[in-house]
Structure 1
Amino acid sequence: MRHARDFVVTVLVLGLLGMGAGVLWSVLAPRPPYVMTGQGPLLADPSTQALIAADGWFAVVTGALGLACGALGYSLSRRGRPVAVVLGLAVGGLLGGLLTLAVGQAVNLGAESVTAAGTAVSLVPGPLGVTARGVMCAWPLLAVGVFFALEGIAGYRDSPLRRPFGGQDPYGPMSSYDISDR
């Protein structure tokens, strides 16, 4: 029962963080400029870097949260239920990424209207979105990766393999080992 509770709490906390991350992403990410035409909005500059920048800011925001959540999840799961927390980090990271996308698209805090200099063309900020779907996996991959890296470091530090021969020097003290005795 405690495993299920740890899993659910981890997923819910990461989901709540995803909503906050969506607001942050909406503030940071640039919008592509659109021009209003008779047929509807049209991308003003097809070679704009705003689409790539939005993907980059999404990766930065969710990746930073993935690193922090992985480290915090590891430190809180030292009580002996790490499997539930790791699964919660994976599922919660996916949920957090989806909520970041949904909230970031809905909020529009960083959007500003732009007027082109010297022309009567009015540019409007386009919708915020993710064009590279791979960035959706930044949060869960980094969270689980940090968790396993910290677990590996701690496992090696506590391992008896780190100190072979039970921590004893196989040749004894250096003063009793003399090359001339051979």
Structure 2
Amino acid sequence: MRRQVRAFAVTVGVLAALGAVAGLTWSWVAPRAPYLPTDRGLILADPTTQALIAADGWFAIITGVLGLACGMVAWWRGRETGLAVVLGLAAGGVLASFVTYWVGTRFTVGAATVAAAAPGLDVVGGLDLTTQSVLVSWAFMALAVYAAIEGVLLYRRSPLRQPYGAQPYNGGIARLPE
């Protein structure tokens, strides 16, 4: 039992730490929308900008690729503690996405932010997500790749692969009856 708890905690901790790196990466590569300061607050300088959607896309790409990598590494390293690692991928993936979001919105790495600007000057806005559904991309991709690898390997070992009464698979080598 102690081994499973440790595997769960290590999985969640590693994914959360990777979330901080992913947040800085997202802050560096994602575009920011320009805003105009007015007496009523900031408004979008260009209402047709695609920068808000592109920020969501970069978040999904970064967290999805890391989810794929984490799922493969978790399957390779955590086969003995299967369920604990799977639960760690689920919880750690969601936690890592929230850490990525928090770090990416709090720290500006790529573009300069202007705190106070004179009216009429463009201000580069901060990052934010317009859709919250991308927050599950890390956990979803990690669990999907883990399940796909496990499913393929279980299928290859399954006796159900052979039709009833058929000879076992011999690696594709044709043999003549004796």
TM-score, length of structure 2 as denominator length: 0.87
**Structure 1, residues 38-81: CA drift from partner, whole Å, max 9, x if none?**
22222111221010000000000000000000011001112x21
Query: What percent identity do the matched residue pairs reach?
Result: 48
Q: How does 1:78-89 map to 2 (within 5 A)?
A: 78=79, 80-89=80-89
Aligned to 1:105: 105
Whole-Å separation in 1 of the counterparts to 2:87 and 2:54: 30
| Amino acid in structure 2 at the alignment position of 1:6 | A
Structure 1 ranges of 4+ moved more than 6 A = none
Residue pair 2:90, 2:143 contacting (<8 A) in 1 also: yes
Query: Whose Rg is larger?
Result: 1
Q: Which runs of 5+ in 1 are unaligned?
A: 115-119, 177-182
The 3 A distance-change label for structure 1 pair 87 and 166 is: farther
Residue pair 2:113, 2:125 contacting (<8 A) in 1 also: no
Aligned residues: 167
Aligned to 1:50: 51
The 3 A distance-change label for structure 1 pair 163 and 94 is: same
SS at match of 1:112: coil
Aligned to 1:180: none
Whole-Å separation in 2 of the counterparts to 1:23 and 1:175: 64
**Structure 1, residues 136-175: CA drift from partner, whole Å, max 9, x if none?**
1100001001000000011111222224548459xxx754
Which of the pair is proportionally richer in helix? 1
Q: Which runs of 5+ in 2 are unaligned?
A: 170-174
TM-score, length of structure 1 as denominator length: 0.85
Task: Please provide the CA RMSD for this pair.
Answer: 2.0
Whole-Å separation in 1 of the counterparts to 2:75 and 2:143: 9
Whole-Å separation in 1 of the counterparts to 2:30 and 2:129: 11
Whole-Å separation in 1 of the counterparts to 2:89 and 2:27: 23
